[in-house]
Amino acid sequence: MSAAVRCTPDPSFMSRRFDFNEALTKESLIRCYRASPELFARKGNDESFGLKTPKKEKFVKRDSKAQPPVEAPYVPPKSQRTTKPISDKTIEIFEGMTVVELAKRTGKSISTLQGILTNVGEKVGTEFDPLSMEVVELIAMEVGINIKRLHSNEGSEILPRPPVVTVMGHVDHGKTSLLDALRQTSVAAKEAGGITQHLGAFVVGMTSGASITFLDTPGHAAFSAMRARGAAVTDIVVLVVAADDGVMPQTLEAMAHAKAANVPIVVAINKCDKPAANPERIRIQLASEGLMLEDMGGDVQVVEVSAMKKTGLDNLEEALLLQAEIMDLKARIDGPAHAYVVEARLDKGKGPLVTAIVKGGTLLCGQYVVVGSEWGRIRAIRDMAEKLVEKARPAMPIEIEGLKGLPRAGDDIIVVESEERARMLSAGRKKKFEKDRLIKIVEERASEEQDKKLSVGSKNKFEKDRHMKIIDERAEAQQPETSEEEPKRVEVPIIVKADVQGTVQAVTDALLNLNSPQVFVNVVHVGVGPISQSDLDMAEACGACIIGFNIKTPPSSVSLAAARASVKIMLHRVIYHLLEDIGNFIVDKAPGTPETKVAGEAEVLSIFELKGRSKSKGPDVKIAGCRVIDGFVTKSGILRLLRSGEVVFEGSCESLKREKQDVDTVKKGNECGLVIHNYDDFRVGDMVQCLEQVIRKPKFVSSESGAARIEC
């Protein structure tokens, strides 16, 4: 056998016992592999070993002519986010957290976190050294992760605390009157318009000797955010329902806020002294809305009261104290305090003032605090009776003085150890807030542009053909264009100034709800306090109007400057009047929608033919002698001729005369003669309609609950 060919036996036959030499002689059991170039010299060498070479195919040049596209339904591309999304990851932090624990929760390396510690001026020890919550928050902000603070009660003194009760319900159901009956005051009479427009906190001493902290919330639809803040800080919600009115929209909203905050509810059916009162109907309505009342086998207590007659108040007090005893309310007394901002306002002499409720710990005068993105050193602490106190304990409503800026309602108050740490934490929060705000604006603009591109791209070949067909049909009919173009959307810039921060947010949200397809309400600036010259300069620069809610009348110099600059200033003390005034202002600014309507109708009584006497006088003319039976007929309008209820012709008015005199308008009951351009086939009994173009303005609509909107 040739040395150039290596032969091996088939492995499938190795298991049988046979003579190896005999097996090599059998050609069927031989596998041969090419190993020498000489074997390729013979023709058909590959075929002899069972190998076949592929045949060469003739090269065919591909046709480069453009092929018609295959018609397929248009599939819009998927929207792609062009900006980096805001991080939604939130981690829980606590006092004494180590770098190792923080690295596990953030997903960052220990060396990265230690580098951030060096940048914020903290000494870098081992990765097991405890860190304060302020330092942990600074690190979390640097890596772009949201945090939630956990306050531990280990090693602290835990004592019972008074319950925080929020009074909620529909507008004008007697919430503030009920509180006035409990604390024997008359706050409701001092409110503008007789309705509560602020979120107030009070401590009421009950006849039993116990004290309860009450939060009074507005019932108007515009103050939804205030009610949500009240439910977030409260222990018990008192749902006030008028016995003569029933369950209303804000009643259902208050129930939703309480359920979202997982807060127990005590129902107070008010105005039971009225003749139209029907408490049983209120119970049935509440049960149908999913509220499990005690009378029907549930756990929600129901008390019938009357704020005017001061009846049932003892039963309400007993129900609240029983609910608080079941909940076993306790709080940490010692250690740094953390509190919740109920309201914030700007005082001319004292500066920013914050109304807050302490959640845990003891807040002392002179401590450095960070409130939202603002910081300061507490100069004074006052209770709700405006008396100075040195410290505030849990469930105690207080007013804090000494912040550098005005925080937002709903922010948390945390105590820090030094001014440097307070400045650093405040600066970091401001930077993060501004960054998130800008990213949100960019994302909204990108999504709007993407939606516009998709709406333009969705007009595929079939839709374009359909539009062309409609245009051709209109051209053939020789009728005026009846399609109405979509009106342009105008922008109404507005500057909002109010007395407290919570009211600023409520008014701003209510104004943004007035956006419509024709008007875009752009709140360019908000602030707390009276209207100043800087507000006027900003309004003049951007063409905005200024809305002042529950603030003092601006100085005469500012009013005169506003009149010279044609800047509109609206001052109101009642939210109803404010929304109505700004709604009418927006309606006036709206461009409106062009519409065609019938201005009048005339009946053809006789037909006159005027013969042309020469070429200069023109051809023969047919004149329709008519009587106007409804509205009026104008020469500038479009005339539509109807015969037996069907439209025969539409055209412009060539001539309109009354008693041989050319006139522009003929009113109802008068006779006239008219000529329609390019038409003379009149018949007695025909009806002539006069069409005119009008601009239909949107409407301002306000419901009983106070919710306002613009209907186009």
Domain that holds residue 682: 593-696
Residues 326 and 338 in one domain: no
CA distances from 652 to 403, 450, 608, 620, 692 (A): 71, 44, 19, 18, 11
CA distances from 402 to 118, 349, 385, 548, 578 (A): 31, 12, 19, 26, 32
**17 pLDDT exceeds 50?**
no
The predicted model gives 357-361 an average pLDDT of: 87
Query: What confidence category does residue 478 fall into, taking pLDDT thresholds of 50, 70 and 90?
Result: very low
For residue 324, what pLDDT is reported? Answer: 87
For residue 448, what pLDDT is reported? Answer: 67
pLDDT in tens, 211-247: 888 887 774 555 556 666 666 678 888 888 888 888 8
Q: How many domains does the chain have?
A: 5
For residue 79, what pLDDT is reported? Answer: 47
Q: Does residue 447 sit within a domain?
A: no
Residues 523 and 612 in one domain: no
Residues 407 and 516 in one domain: no
pLDDT in tens, 586-623: 888 877 777 888 889 999 998 888 776 545 555 678 88
* Structure-block tokens of residue 706: 């106070």
Residues 321 and 380 in one domain: no
**181 pLDDT exceeds 70?**
yes
Task: Identify the domain boundary among 576, 591, 606.
Answer: 591
Compute, in degrees rounded to 10, the torsion defined by CA atoms 143, 149, 155, 160. 180
Q: Does residue 71 sit within a domain?
A: no
**107 pLDDT exceeds 70?**
yes
For residue 628, what pLDDT is reported? Answer: 92
For residue 368, what pLDDT is reported? Answer: 92
Residues 138 and 165 in one domain: no
Q: Does residue 424 sit within a domain?
A: no
Residues 521 and 580 in one domain: yes
Query: What confidence category does residue 75 fall into, taking pLDDT thresholds of 50, 70 and 90?
Result: low
Residue carrying structure tokens 């209303």: 248
533-542 and 556-564 helices, crossing angle to 10° = 10
Instruction: Give the residue, 461 or 368, on which the prediction is more confident.
Output: 368
Residues 268 and 347 in one domain: no
Q: Does residue 438 sit within a domain?
A: no
Query: What confidence category does residue 190 fall into, taking pLDDT thresholds of 50, 70 and 90?
Result: very low
Burial class (CB in 10 A: 0-12, 13-18, 19+), 216: buried
For residue 369, what pLDDT is reported? Answer: 92
pLDDT in tens, 84-105: 444 567 888 878 888 888 888 8
> CA geometry: angle at 499 spanning 263 and 230, to 5°?
0
* Structure-block tokens of residue 573: 């003390």
pLDDT in tens, 679-710: 888 888 889 999 888 877 777 766 655 566 66
CA distance 582 to 510: 10
Q: Does residue 190 sit within a domain?
A: yes
Residues 209 and 315 in one domain: yes
Residues 135 and 244 in one domain: no
**15 pLDDT exceeds 70?**
no
Give the CATH number for residue 130: 1.10.1660
CA distance 670 to 587: 36
**645 pLDDT exceeds 70?**
yes
The number of residues making up the chain comes to: 712
For residue 19, what pLDDT is reported? Answer: 46
Residues 281 and 358 in one domain: no
CA distance 468 to 474: 10
Residues 279 and 385 in one domain: no
Query: What confidence category does residue 378 fall into, taking pLDDT thresholds of 50, 70 and 90?
Result: very high
Q: Does residue 496 sit within a domain?
A: yes
Task: Identify the domain boundary among 545, 562, 591.
Answer: 591
For residue 429, what pLDDT is reported? Answer: 86
Instruction: Give the residue, 197 or 584, on which the prediction is more confident.
Output: 584
The predicted model gives 513-537 an average pLDDT of: 85
pLDDT in tens, 381-434: 988 878 899 988 888 888 899 998 888 878 889 898 888 888 888 888 888 888
- Which of these ranges, 353-357, 577-581, 667-671, has the smallest mean pLDDT? 577-581
CA distance 45 to 25: 21
For residue 434, what pLDDT is reported? Answer: 85
Residues 237 and 285 in one domain: yes
β-bridge pairing 391-392 and 388-389: unpaired
**Mean pLDDT, all residues of the chain:** 76
- Which of these ranges, 195-199, 371-375, 438-442, 651-655, has the smallest mean pLDDT? 195-199
Give the CATH number for residue 577: 3.40.50.10050
For residue 693, what pLDDT is reported? Answer: 81
Q: Does residue 84 sit within a domain?
A: no
Q: Do residues 240 and 167 lie in contact, with contact meaning Cβ atoms separated by under 8 Å?
A: yes
Q: Which of 197, 212, 206 is nearest to 397 (CA)?
A: 212
Task: Identify the domain boundary among 553, 569, 591.
Answer: 591
Q: Does residue 28 sit within a domain?
A: no
Q: What is the pTM of this model?
A: 0.62
Give the CATH number for residue 367: 2.40.30.10
